[in-house]
């Protein structure tokens, strides 16, 4: 039986930056102090980011502009239809905007019928007819007609009906709604690249092989160069087939996340949460997580994607090493640059992602450089030259095209000359896009690349202390240049090659003494860089009290509760880094908590290792005694034998008892282990 798909196309839908997970539209006079207040409390309790107009809107701002922005940047819109909802022109404006976003942005809309009958809303009769008649007098027929259409469409959607049942508890009703919202958030689709040139043919080829294994557990590997589009293909395939599975989970950046302290546990919890949305169970250690995951995958048909895997052991720790645990019909997709790893993982099918051909490269580059599928007439030759150097790598085509958007032919020729003189390395070519940025944009790019990848956008803006307008404008430029993207959780993300480019630029600037642009992204680098500056020039006393709850202070070799340091002229150059250190402080706190959680599980292993060392020590000592006895016996039969025995008390005795002439020497190579003395 063929594996059917969720939709006929996976072409990317233009999507805004998601600022909120939920927007709630309601009539305040009907429900503000009761139902919607309880709903917002439940959303907060479940850590769902929701927009609330009576708290979020700032005085002095255009309220509708803020509301419109909140609606457009929310993944789910919840509409609480109450008795007087349609009487409010404000509510109807929100409703019309929500239904527009449903059509254009694929926003999820969830209606709640709070003590009103959906059939009456759809019919627009009775009191509603009078309400809309009065609206026509105030706002005109055209506007009211758009409200009627939006209300009818929304009332026809599947939703939650509280009705007039007085015996139904609102708290239970709200918890059911929250569960539905959590599931819908978990099932959210990825927004694939805005110009998916060449993606469809690659996805369909993989899907054809999935059809051949329908009904079986199938593991598929996608491999290829960095920047060739493995993640994009995996996301598009995930979107295409995910609705056919009971549980679906996409683990992004497995390599980077697994290398972090507690990262594997976080990945395990993501798999567990995808299957048990309301579960608050925390994984204490990796082995415990493996057991929980195996219980889950045996009971449900799973679609699991692991993106950017570099270590085979990570698959074992995520319980993906044995397909026998999975329900029949489950699919596991792994992306990696290492084809051998995919063979060792026993993938049923390995798809090697090809480079783009000339026509695909021409289209993709043109979309980013000109906003259409072909170049302007006087840029055709220059376009062909850039495409030649990009060698069919989508990431390069996107970044180079975006950096040349709107530039003159003179600037294009300069870029082509630099490409011609470059070492043809991908990172060297990517660096050309960095050089086209302003100083402020360069500084923001480096800070994001070194510190804030994976961080929430608004949190990053707050830490950096930039004005909202400045941060947003500079970030928008980085986004247009395809250097930074923002995911559906409003987190800043970068391709790993672009991160590596940022680190190389930073290292070069550090060696050249580039000043403020030079950053330090490893904690130890920071400690070595900052602490000597505090120690060298002590001029004026200043007290700093450590607020961090970890045993080892970031700067000091010992854990004092208060350190007396002197403020120096050099401190001024360091103060700019303190906000970044505060951000790292938060990260380190979380890492420490994860390490403490894992510590208990490792104690037994440490004790076992210590016991094994003691046993080995005792065994080696016994061997040493036997060796001494053997050498004593050997000397009786060969008195002229001189034995040079490092680390043995017998060496000096042998040397003194041997004659200086006619000696035979045996040099032993006993290991220099302290317990052999």
End of a domain among 352, 385, 420?
352
Q: State the pLDDT at residue 223.
A: 92
Query: For residue range 491-527, what is the model confidence (pLDDT) as tens digits?
Result: 888 887 888 888 888 887 776 654 444 555 444 444 4
Residues 34 and 83 both lie in one domain: yes
DSSP, residue by residue, 547-593: ---SSS-SS-SS--SEEEEEE-HHHHHHHHHHHHHHHHHHHHHHHHH
- Answer yes or no: are the C-beta atoms of 676 and 668 closer than 8 Å: no
- Which of these ranges, 188-192, 293-297, 367-371, 654-658, has the smallest mean pLDDT? 654-658
Residues 206 and 154 both lie in one domain: no
Position 568 pLDDT exceeds 60: no
Where residue 631 falls (left for φ over 0; alpha for ψ -120 to 50; beta otherwise) is alpha
Tokens coding 367: 């979309």
Output the domain CATH number for residue 31: 3.40.50.10140
Residues 115 and 32 both lie in one domain: yes
End of a domain among 156, 186, 216?
186
Query: For residue range 327-349, what is the model confidence (pLDDT) as tens digits?
Result: 899 999 999 988 889 999 999 99
Position 352 pLDDT exceeds 60: yes
- The answer as to whether 363 is a domain residue is no
Rg (CA), the chain: 33
- The answer as to whether 300 is a domain residue is yes
- Which of these ranges, 132-146, 240-254, 508-522, 548-562, has the smallest mean pLDDT? 548-562
Position 673 pLDDT exceeds 50: no
Residues 270 and 176 both lie in one domain: no
- Which of these ranges, 220-229, 257-266, 648-657, has the smallest mean pLDDT? 648-657
Is 94 assigned a catalytic role?
Answer: yes
Structurally, the chain folds into a number of domains equal to 3
- The answer as to whether 469 is a domain residue is no
End of a domain among 311, 331, 352?
352
Q: How big, in percent rounded to 5, are the helix, strand and coil portions of the chain?
A: 55, 10, 30
What domain range includes position 657? 638-676
Residues 160 and 256 both lie in one domain: no
Closest by CA position to 82, among listed 95, 70, 72: 95
Active-site entry in 47, 58, 94, 524:
94
Output the domain CATH number for residue 303: 3.40.50.300
- The answer as to whether 374 is a domain residue is no
CA distance readout (Å), 582 to 460, 524, 575 = 11, 15, 11
Position 656 pLDDT exceeds 60: no
Residues 204 and 305 both lie in one domain: yes
Residues 227 and 106 both lie in one domain: no
Is the entire prediction scored with pTM above 0.95?
Answer: no
The mean pLDDT value of the chain amounts to: 75
Mean pLDDT of 23-29: 91
- Answer yes or no: are the C-beta atoms of 470 and 388 closer than 8 Å: no
- Which of these ranges, 21-25, 278-282, 467-471, 670-674, has the smallest mean pLDDT? 670-674
- Answer yes or no: are the C-beta atoms of 100 and 146 closer than 8 Å: no
Query: In whole angstroms, what is the distance from residue 305 CA to residue 234 CA?
Result: 7
Q: How confident is the model at residue 662 (pLDDT cuts 50, 70, 90)?
A: very low
Residues 238 and 287 both lie in one domain: yes
- Positive or negative, the CA dihedral 547, 549, 553, 558 is positive
DSSP summary character for residue 670: -
Residues 224 and 347 both lie in one domain: yes
Residues 260 and 176 both lie in one domain: no
Query: For residue range 57-92, what is the model confidence (pLDDT) as tens digits?
Result: 554 457 888 888 899 889 899 999 998 999 999 899
Q: State the pLDDT at residue 661.
A: 42
- The answer as to whether 229 is a domain residue is yes
- Answer yes or no: are the C-beta atoms of 479 and 457 closer than 8 Å: no
Higher confidence at residue 600 or residue 664? 600
């Amino acid at each position: 039986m063929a594996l059917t798909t969720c939709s006929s196309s996976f072409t990317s839908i233009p999507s805004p930056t998601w600022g909120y997970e939920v927007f709630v539209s309601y009539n305040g006079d009907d429900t503000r102090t009761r139902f919607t207040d309880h709903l917002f409390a439940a959303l907060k309790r479940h850590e769902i980011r929701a927009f609330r107009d009576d708290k979020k809107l700032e005085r002095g701002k255009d309220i509708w502009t803020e509301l419109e922005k909140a609606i457009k940047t929310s993944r789910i819109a919840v509409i609480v239809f109450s008795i007087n909802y349609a009487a409010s022109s404000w509510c109807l404006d929100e409703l019309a905007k929500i239904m527009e976003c449903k059509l254009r942005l694929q926003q999820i809309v969830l209606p709640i019928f709070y003590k009103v009958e959906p059939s009456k809303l759809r019919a627009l009769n009775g009191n509603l007819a009078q309400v809309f008649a009065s609206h026509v007098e105030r706002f005109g027929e055209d506007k009211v007609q758009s409200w009627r259409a939006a209300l009818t469409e929304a009332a026809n959607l599947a939703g939650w009906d509280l009705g007039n049942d007085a015996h139904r508890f609102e708290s239970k009703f709200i918890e059911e709604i929250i569960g539905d919202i959590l599931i819908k958030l978990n099932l959210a689709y990825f927004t694939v690249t805005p110009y998916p040139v060449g993606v469809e043919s690659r996805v369909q080829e993989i899907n054809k092989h999935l059809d051949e294994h329908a009904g079986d557990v199938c593991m598929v590997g996608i491999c290829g160069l960095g920047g060739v589009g493995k993640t994009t293909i995996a996301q598009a395939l995930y979107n295409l087939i995910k609705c056919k599975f009971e549980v679906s989970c996409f683990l992004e950046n497995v390599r980077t996340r697994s290398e972090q302290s507690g990262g594997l546990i976080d990945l395990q919890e993501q798999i567990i949460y995808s299957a048990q949305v309301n579960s608050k169970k925390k994984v204490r250690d990796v082995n415990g997580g493996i057991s929980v995951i195996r219980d889950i995958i045996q009971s449900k048909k799973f679609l699991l994607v692991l993106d950017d895997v570099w270590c085979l052991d990570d698959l074992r720790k995520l319980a993906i090493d044995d397909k026998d645990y999975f329900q029949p019909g489950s699919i596991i997709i792994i992306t990696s640059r290492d084809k051998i790893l995919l063979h060792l993982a026993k993938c049923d099918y390995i798809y090697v992602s090809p480079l783009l051909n000339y026509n695909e490269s021409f289209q993709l580059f043109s979309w980013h450089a000109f906003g259409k599928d072909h170049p302007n007439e006087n840029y055709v030759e220059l376009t062909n030259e850039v495409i030649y150097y990009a060698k069919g790598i989508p990431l390069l085509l996107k970044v180079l095209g975006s950096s040349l958007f709107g530039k003159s032919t003179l600037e294009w020729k300069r870029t082509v000359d630099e490409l011609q003189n470059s070492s043809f390395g991908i990172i060297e070519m990517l660096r050309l896009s960095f050089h086209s940025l302003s100083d402020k944009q360069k500084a923001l790019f480096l800070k994001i690349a070194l510190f804030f990848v994976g961080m929430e956008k608004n949190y990053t803006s707050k830490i950096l202390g930039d004005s909202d307008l400045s941060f947003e404008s500079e970030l928008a430029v980085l986004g247009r240049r395809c250097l930074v993207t923002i995911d559906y959780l409003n987190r800043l993300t970068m391709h790993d090659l672009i991160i590596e480019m940022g680190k190389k630029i930073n290292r070069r600037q550090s060696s050249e003494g580039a000043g403020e642009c030079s950053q330090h992204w490893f904690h130890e680098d920071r400690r070595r860089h900052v602490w000597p500056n505090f120690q060298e020039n002590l001029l004026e006393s200043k007290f700093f009290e450590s607020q961090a709850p970890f045993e080892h202070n970031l700067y000091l070799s010992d854990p004092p509760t208060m350190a007396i340091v002197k403020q120096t002229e050099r401190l001024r150059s360091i103060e700019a880094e303190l906000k970044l250190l505060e951000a790292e402080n938060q990260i380190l706190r979380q890492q420490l908590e994860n390490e403490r959680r894992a510590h208990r599980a490792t104690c037994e292993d440490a004790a076992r290792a210590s016991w094994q060392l003691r046993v080995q020590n005792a065994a080696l000592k016994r061997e040493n005694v036997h060796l001494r006895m053997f050498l004593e016996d050997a000397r009786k039969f060969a008195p002229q034998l001189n034995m040079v025995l490092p680390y043995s008390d017998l060496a000096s005795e042998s040397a003194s008892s041997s004659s200086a002439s006619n000696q035979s020497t045996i040099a032993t190579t006993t290991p220099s282990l302290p317990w052999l003395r």
